[in-house]
């Protein structure tokens, strides 16, 4: 009894101890998995996170809490918190957390409305560990949360569950929630990222960072255009009259369409009145500072700024009577009136004095002094001058006073305006009228004085076809419709207004020619203001737009200075400088030199210009930078650098070249790349006219070589071999049938001299001479026909065999994408896989595996893998590049081209950032080189310079490598013959022994009963047919043995 009790106790203790060990092992495995995930997604990315435990009645996390507190393996700065069912407090102070939950139902608790409402302005990264929750249960809970709880618009917050670590039996599943997958759009799906085995404590694959929303799998995303910003300038949806289809126009739809190409979604556009904006994924509107923003929305960083202005009608024109008072201000007029009042008051006082005093002051000859004052003011000649010195001095002072003010008045009214009008008229005629350039007249009407210029322009050009626009403080409308303009501005500060971001954003695709007249601006002030615009406002990469200010006509004192902005001068490189082109003297009304057309960017004064080569076109044929490992100096080869170097000699700049990985292309002046028809062009770029066209082709490794044994069957196809075998079978069948017939019939067909007809058939096929020809006509005719038949086929076989022995026949190469996929080919390309998918008009399920590689990897595969038939490699490469390498390596490149696959023609061109100053130069020069055929000549020169000329092939002998299979067949045939000989010898020896034993037994019996004379015995042996046959066979066997031995 005691023994049973002891055994039972040991059993219970062992069971409990094993259960405890298993639980401890599971906890340790879970801790290891959580720690590795947290280190990968939080610690490596330097994200501060907290531990949050959700405890319920079913189970607590005391053990996990204790072990995490004891181990403290992650970081001492991380807060360890244990909270009850109310999480509002903790989620108000954290940004990221590792949350320990017990069941799937805790997801709904975490996602409470209170939590959602408080976290609109936060971005979380949550790793949620679910202790008791299977994969199917978590799927159901997610659908219940989103569908039943109607959290459609809060999916972004549910996406804050960055990772879900699910404890499911012996595995921990690292999962996440995706809204767009291959199987569904806008529907939550649980995606398994990795699996942790608790037993082996290993992940199924390496832990890597995972980014959501990188591919939308062609799903629809809708852009909703708010009613406050529906205009053709930013975004608009119009119905086309031809097709009754809707089309979206403007900057925002175009930007949205460009993003769709990158993230693989289908853009949709809705007008504001068609559907509520909350049912669209993306919305667009203007948000002003005074708006009360809906806290249920999130906003991107603003990408454009606009200003609201108050627009009023322009002031009324001054009447001719009002214009009389314009030259002087009110204070000047008051002082003038005061002077005249003092003069008339003095005259009135003097006139009241006695005559003798009057004569003493005026003189005897002055009768009407007041009339003299008025005539002096208006410049009328004084016919009677006072005789006394005192009145004469007063008169001279007053005459000078009136002369000064009268002259100022007249210059203001006439001479100054005439001088300005003449200078502006000559500039407009020289740069616009003579070149037949349509231009607009734009007045920034914030100063009254501009009315004079406006009157002049209306008078001179009002009858022409040029449009006249007067827009107070708002140029958006005119700059949408004009290409060139004469702009009348008041001060230097107006340049900032003209160069506003709204104007820049709207003119990305325009090229302007502006003549800006600035009324009140000194030359030094303008230079300082330009530097302020470019440097302080960080318009470095928008210098092309500032260069649209083609000419600045500055009203500086007595001169009109015609200036322009140059970025390259003798004193500075790539920095704005104001250059004075000509000066107009208002007094002499002449220019300092003759007006003539001025072209910018004709001399770069030895400054550096950089050419950036995109990775898609890096090759030694077009452009490549080769670095010498010894001295680390590089040299540039290819067509594009050669063109760039030729341009540098003409325009006096120093060419620099950059590899694509060294620096971003927007820091270079000129960029170069291939643009395919399926590419989405960045609208922040401008392109030259394409000067080269290339085609993308698909190359595959050639088929494997036929083995020597396979070559034996190559001369004929399967059907021919079947018919040959059939002919020989018929021949041997006929011989077999004839051999079974009587002797008389055989001799009647073959003749008496033919013993082995089957051997004759074989001799005829192999061309061996017939030593015994049938005597009958019928077998002779059959033999002749068969000999001719065998001669024809034997000759064809031998000729084709000779051809295969002197060449290298291969198995057929793939002919289509389906063949590539069936034969497990891998396709390499340096083109983006998304572009490749659009270039290929094939079913995506029939395409092989496509891997994106660098150009260096493609070059290595192209030059090394062409002889490797077993590599099963294919690539997409430019036809020009392949032709270049063919000329470089000769016939050592044995790539096979898929003929039935045609891509669209790709264009090669230079590209620049918007309105780059170098665009027109490169465009003009490349068109000139293309028209003159120089680019084609340079391409041919590059190809010829690398050609490998091969001499004419001489005759060659058949080497042992090509003939060894014949020796192999001979050896195998000899071995087979020896084996047949041994088998036949054993057969005849065994048969001879049997016959010998029978003969011995019969002789012994005969000798025992009767004595026979030896001569009689010999006679009896000769007469005995059986013994004669045996003897003959034995003699033949001996002869054959000796003959074979001698050979």
**Is the model's pLDDT at 455 over the cut of 60?**
no
* Nearest partner of 641 among 854, 938, 881, judged by Cα: 938
Identify the DSSP state of 235: B
Give the range among 117-126, 199-208, 554-563, 592-601 with minimum mean pLDDT.
Answer: 117-126
Shared fold status for 20-203 and 435-591: yes
CATH of domain 20-203: 3.40.50
Q: Are 671 and 623 spatial neighbours (Cβ–Cβ below 8 Å)?
A: no
Cβ atoms 624, 618 nearer than 8 A? yes
Whether 148 and 183 have beta carbons less than 8 Å apart is answered as no
The pair of structure tokens assigned to 882 is 């392949």
User: Which helix (H) or strand (E) element contains residue 204?
Assistant: none
What torsion do the CA atoms of 90, 91, 96, 101 make, to the nearest 10 degrees?
80
Q: Which position has the token pair 């002779």? A: 780
pLDDT at residue 596, as a whole number: 78
For 136, the enclosing helix (H) or strand (E) is helix 135-143
In the DSSP assignment, the letter for residue 154 is G
Q: What is the pLDDT of residue 505?
A: 40
**pLDDT the model gives residue 541:** 40
Sign of CA dihedral 805, 809, 810, 812: negative
Distances (CA, A) of 253 to 236, 267, 359, 447, 572: 8, 9, 92, 39, 41
pLDDT (0 to 100) of residue 399: 72
Q: How far apart (Å, rounded) are the C-alpha atoms in residues 703 and 262?
A: 37
Choose the weakest-confidence range: 98-107, 498-507, 842-851, 897-906.
Answer: 498-507
pLDDT in tens, 530-551: 766 665 554 444 444 455 567 7
Give tens-digit pLDDT for 717-743: 888 888 888 888 888 888 888 888 787
Query: How far are the Cα atoms of 270, 285, 684, 739, 837 from residue 265, in angstroms, in the given order?
Result: 16, 22, 21, 82, 14
Using pLDDT thresholds of 50, 70 and 90, give the confidence band for residue 421: low
Query: Tell me: the pLDDT tens digits for 474-533?
Result: 444 455 555 666 777 767 766 666 665 434 444 444 555 667 767 667 777 777 777 666
pLDDT of residue 704: 79
Encode pLDDT of 557-570 as tens digits. Answer: 778 888 888 878 88
The pair of structure tokens assigned to 873 is 């490699």
In three-state secondary structure terms, 687 is: strand
Q: Is 1039 exposed, middle or buried (0-12, 13-18, 19+ CB in 10 A)?
A: exposed
Q: Does the pLDDT of residue 365 top 60, yes or no? A: yes
Query: Quick one: which H or E segment has residue 518?
Result: strand 513-520
Q: Give residue 463's pLDDT band: very low, low, confident or very high (50, 70, 90).
A: very low
The whole-angstrom separation of Cα 1027 and Cα 908 is 99
Higher pLDDT, 335 or 625: 335
Q: Taking 70 as the threshold, does the pLDDT of residue 667 lie above it?
A: no
Cβ burial, residue 7 (10 Å; 0-12/13-18/19+): exposed
pLDDT at 1047 over 70: no
Alpha carbon distance 427, 417 (integer Å): 16
Q: Which pair of tokens denotes residue 955? A: 């005759």
C-alpha closest to that of 479 among 457, 502, 455: 502
**In this prediction, what percent of the chain has a pLDDT beyond 90?**
0
Contact between residue 919 and residue 686 where contact means Cβ atoms under 8 Å apart: yes
Q: How far apart are CA 884 and CA 294, in angstroms?
A: 62
Query: What's residue 758's pLDDT?
Result: 76
* Cα–Cα distance, 935 to 910 (Å, whole number): 14
In CATH, 435-591 is 3.30.2320: no
Sorted by where each begins, the domain ranges of the chain are: 20-203, 220-284, 320-411, 435-591, 607-695, 708-806, 813-902+922-945, 964-1046
Answer whether 227's CB lies under 8 Å from 272's CB: yes
How many CB atoms within 10 Å of residue 648?
18
Neighbouring residues of 509: CB distance < 8 A, sequence distance ≥ 6: 683
The answer to whether the CB of 215 falls within 8 A of the CB of 263 is yes
Instruction: Please state the separation of Cα 1007 from the chain's center in Å.
Output: 111
Q: What pTM did the predictor assign?
A: 0.44
Query: What does the pLDDT look like over 949-961, one tens digit per residue?
Result: 444 444 445 556 6
| Average pLDDT value over all residues in the chain | 67
Segment 1-30 shows an average pLDDT of 53
- pLDDT surpassing 60 at residue 418: no
**Residue 219: what pLDDT?**
85
Place of tokens 């294919």: 874
pLDDT at 502: 38
pLDDT at 117: 40
Please, what is the angle between helix 330-351 and helix 369-377, to 10°? Answer: 160
Secondary structure element (H or E) that encloses residue 432, with its range: none
Task: Render pLDDT for 995-1034 as a digit per residue (tens, 0 to 9).
Answer: 777 777 666 655 555 544 444 444 444 444 444 555 565 5
- Token couple for 303: 């990408």
**pLDDT tens-digit readout, 108-147:** 666 654 344 444 445 566 777 777 777 777 766 666 666 5
Determine the Cα–Cα distance for residues 972 and 987; give it in Å rounded to an integer: 22
The predicted structure's pLDDT at residue 896? 75
Residues 6+ apart with CB under 8 A from 548: 511, 512, 513, 514, 915
* DSSP tally for the chain: helices H, then strands E: 35, 34
**CA–CA distance, 827 with 824 (Å, rounded to integer):** 10
Smallest Cα–Cα separation from 115: which of 80, 154, 164? 154
- In this structure, of 89-93, 172-176, 613-617, the range with the lowest mean pLDDT score is 89-93
Cβ proximity of 626 and 635 under 8 Å? yes
Task: Return the structure tokens found at 403.
Answer: 């002369």
């Amino acid at each position: 009894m005691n023994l049973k009790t002891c055994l039972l106790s040991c059993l219970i203790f062992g069971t409990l101890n094993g259960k405890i060990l298993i639980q401890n092992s599971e906890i340790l495995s879970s801790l290891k998995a959580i720690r590795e995930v947290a280190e990968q997604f939080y610690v490596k990315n330097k994200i501060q996170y907290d531990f949050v435990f959700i405890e319920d009645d079913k189970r607590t996390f005391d053990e996990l809490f204790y072990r995490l507190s004891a181990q403290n393996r992650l970081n001492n700065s991380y807060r360890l918190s244990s909270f009850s069912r109310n999480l509002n407090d903790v989620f108000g102070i954290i940004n990221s957390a590792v949350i320990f939950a017990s069941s799937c139902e805790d997801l709904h608790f975490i996602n409470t409305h209170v939590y959602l409402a408080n976290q609109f302005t936060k971005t979380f990264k949550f790793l949620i560990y679910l202790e008791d929750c299977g994969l199917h249960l978590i799927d159901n809970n997610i659908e219940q949360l989103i569908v039943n709880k109607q959290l459609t618009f809060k999916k972004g917050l549910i996406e804050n569950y960055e990772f879900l670590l699910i404890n499911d039996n012996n595995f921990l599943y690292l999962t996440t929630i995706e809204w767009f997958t291959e199987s569904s759009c806008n529907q939550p799906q649980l995606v398994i990222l990795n699996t942790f085995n608790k037993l082996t404590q290993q992940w199924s694959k390496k832990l890597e960072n995972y980014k959501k929303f990188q591919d939308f799998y062609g799903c629809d995303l809708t852009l909703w255009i708010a009613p406050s910003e529906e205009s053709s300038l930013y975004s608009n949806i119009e119905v086309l009259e031809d097709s009754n289809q809707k089309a979206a126009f403007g900057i925002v739809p175009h930007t949205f369409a460009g993003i769709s190409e990158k993230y693989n979604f289908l853009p949709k556009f809705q007008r504001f009145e068609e559907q509520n904006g909350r049912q669209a994924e993306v919305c667009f509107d203007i948000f002003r500072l005074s708006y009360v923003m809906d806290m249920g929305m999130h906003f991107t960083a603003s990408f454009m700024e606009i200003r609201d202005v108050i627009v009023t009608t322009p002031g009324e024109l001054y009447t001719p009577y009002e214009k009389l008072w314009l030259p002087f201000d009110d204070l000047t007029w008051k002082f003038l009136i005061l002077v005249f009042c003092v003069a008339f008051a003095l005259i009135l006082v003097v006139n009241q004095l006695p005559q003798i005093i009057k004569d003493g002051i005026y003189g005897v000859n002055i009768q009407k002094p007041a009339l003299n004052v008025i005539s002096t003011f208006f410049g009328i000649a004084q016919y009677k001058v006072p005789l006394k010195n005192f009145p004469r001095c007063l008169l001279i002072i007053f005459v000078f006073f009136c002369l000064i003010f009268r002259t100022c008045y007249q210059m203001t009214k006439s001479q100054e305006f005439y001088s300005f009008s003449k200078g502006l008229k000559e500039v407009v005629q020289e740069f616009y009228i003579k070149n037949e350039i349509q231009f607009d007249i734009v007045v920034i009407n914030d100063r009254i004085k501009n009315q004079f210029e406006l009157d002049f322009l209306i008078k001179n050009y009002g009858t022409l076809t040029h449009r006249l626009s007067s827009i107070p403080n708002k140029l958006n409308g005119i700059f949408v419709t004009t290409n060139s303009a004469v702009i009348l501005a008041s001060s230097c500060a107006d340049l900032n207004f003209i160069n506003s971001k709204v104007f820049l954003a709207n003119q990305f695709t325009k090229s302007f020619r502006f003549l800006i007249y600035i009324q009140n601006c000194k030359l030094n002030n303008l230079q300082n203001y330009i530097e302020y615009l470019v440097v302080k406002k960080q318009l470095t990469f928008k210098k092309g737009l500032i260069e649209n200010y083609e000419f600045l006509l500055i009203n500086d004192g007595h001169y009109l200075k015609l200036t322009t902005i140059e970025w390259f001068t003798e004193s500075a490189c790539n920095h704005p400088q104001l250059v004075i082109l000509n000066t107009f003297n208002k007094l002499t009304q002449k220019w300092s030199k003759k007006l003539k057309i001025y072209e910018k960017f004709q001399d770069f004064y030895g400054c550096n210009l950089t050419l950036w080569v995109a990775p898609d076109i890096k090759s030694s044929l077009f452009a490549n930078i080769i670095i010498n490992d010894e001295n680390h100096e590089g040299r540039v080869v290819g067509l594009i650098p050669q063109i760039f170097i030729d341009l540098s000699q003409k325009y006096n700049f120093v060419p620099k070249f950059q590899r694509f990985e060294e620096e971003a292309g927007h820091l270079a002046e000129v960029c170069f790349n291939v643009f395919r028809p399926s590419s989405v062009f960045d609208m922040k770029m401008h392109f030259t006219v394409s000067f080269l066209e290339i085609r993308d082709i698909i190359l595959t490794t050639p088929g494997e070589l036929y083995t020597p044994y396979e070559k034996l069957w190559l001369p004929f196809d399967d059907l021919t071999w079947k018919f040959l075998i059939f002919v020989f079978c018929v021949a041997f069948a006929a011989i077999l049938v004839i051999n079974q017939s009587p002797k008389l019939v055989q001799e009647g067909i073959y003749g008496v001299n033919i013993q082995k007809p089957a051997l004759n058939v074989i001799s005829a096929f192999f061309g061996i001479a017939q030593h015994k020809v049938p005597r009958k006509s019928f077998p002779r005719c059959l033999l002749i026909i068969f000999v001719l038949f065998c001669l024809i086929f034997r000759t064809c076989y031998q000729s084709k065999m000779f051809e295969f022995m002197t060449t290298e026949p291969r198995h057929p190469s793939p002919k289509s994408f389906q063949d590539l996929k069936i034969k497990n080919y891998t396709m390499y390309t340096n083109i983006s896989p998304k572009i490749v998918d659009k270039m290929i008009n094939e079913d995506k399920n029939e395409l092989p595996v496509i891997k994106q590689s660098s150009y260096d990897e493609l070059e290595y595969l192209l030059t090394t893998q062409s002889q490797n038939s077993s590599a099963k490699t294919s690539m997409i490469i430019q036809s020009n590049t392949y032709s270049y390498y063919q000329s470089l390596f000769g016939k050592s490149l044995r790539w096979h081209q898929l003929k039935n696959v045609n891509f669209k023609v790709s264009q090669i061109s230079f590209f620049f950032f918007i309105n780059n100053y170098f665009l027109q130069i490169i465009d003009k020069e490349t068109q000139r080189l293309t028209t003159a055929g120089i680019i084609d000549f340079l391409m041919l020169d590059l190809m010829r310079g690398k050609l490998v000329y091969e001499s004419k092939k001489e005759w060659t002998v058949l080497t042992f490598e090509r003939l060894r299979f014949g020796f192999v067949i001979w050896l195998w045939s000899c071995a087979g013959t020896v084996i047949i000989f041994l088998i036949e010898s054993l057969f005849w020896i065994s048969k001879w022994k049997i016959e010998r034993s029978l003969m011995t037994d019969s002789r012994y019996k005969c000798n025992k009963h009767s004595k026979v004379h030896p001569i009689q015995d010999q006679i009896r042996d000769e007469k005995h047919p059986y013994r004669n046959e045996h003897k003959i066979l034995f003699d033949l066997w001996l002869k054959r043995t000796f003959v074979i031995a001698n050979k």
